[in-house]
Structure 1
Amino acid sequence: MMKKTWEEFLKNKAFRNKLALGILLLVLLVAFLPYYFAFIEARKGIVINDLVLDYIDSANVSIPTFIIIWSLSLGCLYINLQTPSRMLQMLWAFNVLSLSRILSIYLVPLEPPADLIELIDPITNTIYGARFITKDLFFSGHTATLVTFALCMHKKSHKVIVFSGAIAVGILVLIQHVHYTIDVIAAFVFPFILVPIARRICKPFI
């Protein structure tokens, strides 16, 4: 069976509506997040006694972290753009993930780990606002985003590559003390709950 093109999908009103709503929500999230993270950064949180971080000397691994995250993210975007239904799923999966992080960060107020080193990510930091945010902790957005994108890929080889990248990023953010261990573990759990929700939203197109 031949794949439907963007032109064919866009003739479907329901698909257009779900795509437009997904893009609108993404724009609203990007506009809202700097204000939200400014609020999160100003409030008090709790400090976790993390036995794993106690055994890891913090080091700046921003460059490999940045390279892995954005090369894989852009690769997923490029691949899924070839298939409108999968692009719709990826869009909504990211939106659902973002909304869940807004809620989870609010419900679990944490102070940053000791010896945290600022993660240099020019793209993400632009979205977050002018200063580096340290309290967007539970759960790790960088790690969870790659897990989410892995689940949105069609080919098994692509899933394995992106999921491996998520594991690498999870380790790197711990080395840099940007997150607690529980933040990284949760980042591998939540996408398996959230991506099916995105798939339901995108039905009957996937």
Structure 2
Amino acid sequence: MDTFLTWASAWHHNVFRKHLILTLGLLVACALAAPHIFRFVEAREGYVLPDPVLVALPAKQVSVYIFVILYIFIGMAIIILVQSPKAFLTALQAYLLITLFRFVTLLLVPLEAPPGLLPLQDPLVDKLFYQQPVTKDLFFSGHTGILALFFFLLGHNRQWNWLFGLASLAVGILLLVQHAHYTLDVLAAPAFAWLAVKVSPKLKV
């Protein structure tokens, strides 16, 4: 697929338009499937992982810091990526992949909530999608993963790249402070983000 300079030229390209519509449709399907997957994950029994990092960290409610960082940087990434239709489509496809990866790992890796977990308080998602707290959507960390995704997507742009790396690191640490994830969940997230970014340009959807 050629690189398009404007959205108008991109939209008039049949292949690009089909890729974009299909990707958006699959993301909507994922959003509709997520509550069902989370209900299943919450209802089953899982394993408690030994985690010396969490043992050493007293749990604190830091949701406000997590979501301020998360939503600011998601907004920044959209503003940066939307300037290039090809880059924006690649980002959407990478996000679709990391979402699918996460669905698979959630289903395959049953975990109990970490000891001392304080539920995350997301001012947006809690109001729109989930009425009950979700505490077992653990492996891997989606919050860390999406910021790591932007870090890899913007790897060519050093002006922004390091900021997204720091944001991903900060959110990962704050999630551990809140005991909202095991250390393994946070450490695994960048690996899945990297894989999604590497695979997304090769998608033939």
TM over 0.5, shorter chain: yes
Equivalent residues in 2 for 1:118-197, closer than 5 Å: 118-126=119-127, 128-153=129-154, 154-197=156-199
CA distance in 2, matches of 1:64, 1:14: 40
Partner of 2:115: 114
For residues 179-198 of structure 1, the C-alpha deviation after alignment (integer angstroms, 9 at most, x for no partner) is 00000000121111121111
SS at 2:124 equivalent: helix
In 2: Cα distance, 1:127 partner to 1:139 partner: 22
SS at match of 1:122: coil
C-alpha distance in 2 between matches for 1:166 and 1:191: 11
Q: Which residue of 1 aligns with 2:202?
A: 200
Aligned residues: 202
- Give the aligned partner of residue 35 of structure 1: 36
Matched, 1:97 2:78: no
Structure 2: segments with no counterpart, 5+ residues: none
For the residues of structure 2 that align with 1:26 and 1:126, how far apart are their CA atoms?
19
Q: Which runs of 5+ in 1 are unaligned?
A: none
What amino acid is aligned across from residue 175 of structure 2 in structure 1?
V
Native 8 Å contact 1:88 1:202 kept in 2 = no
Contact 1:112 1:134 in 2 (8 A): yes
Amino acid at match of 1:171: I
Q: Note if contact 2:4-2:85 (Cα within 8 Å) is conserved in structure 1.
A: no
With 147-156 and 4-13 compared, the bigger mean Cα shift is at: 147-156
Query: How far apart are the structure 2 equivalents of 1:148 and 1:136?
Result: 19
Report the residue type matching 1:9 in the other structure: A
TM-score by length of 1: 0.94
Q: CA RMSD for the aligned pairs?
A: 1.6
Matches within 5 A, 1:79-90: 79-90=80-91
Counterpart Cα distance in 2 of 1:54 and 1:127: 33
Cα distance per residue 1:34-85 (max 9 Å; x no partner): 1110111101100011111000000011111010000000110111111101
8 Å CA contact 2:45, 2:110 repeated in 1: yes
- Tell me, in whole angstroms, the C-alpha distance in 2 between the residues paired with 1:137 and 1:127: 21
Give the alignment's TM-score, normalised by structure 2.
0.94
Aligned AA (1:52): V
Q: Tell me how far 1:126 sits from its aligned partner.
A: 4.4
8 A contact 1:148–1:195 mirrored in 2: yes
**Alignment identity in percent?**
36
Separation (CA, whole Å) in 2 of partners of 1:88 and 1:3: 11
How many Å separate the matches in 2 of 1:3 and 1:161? 27
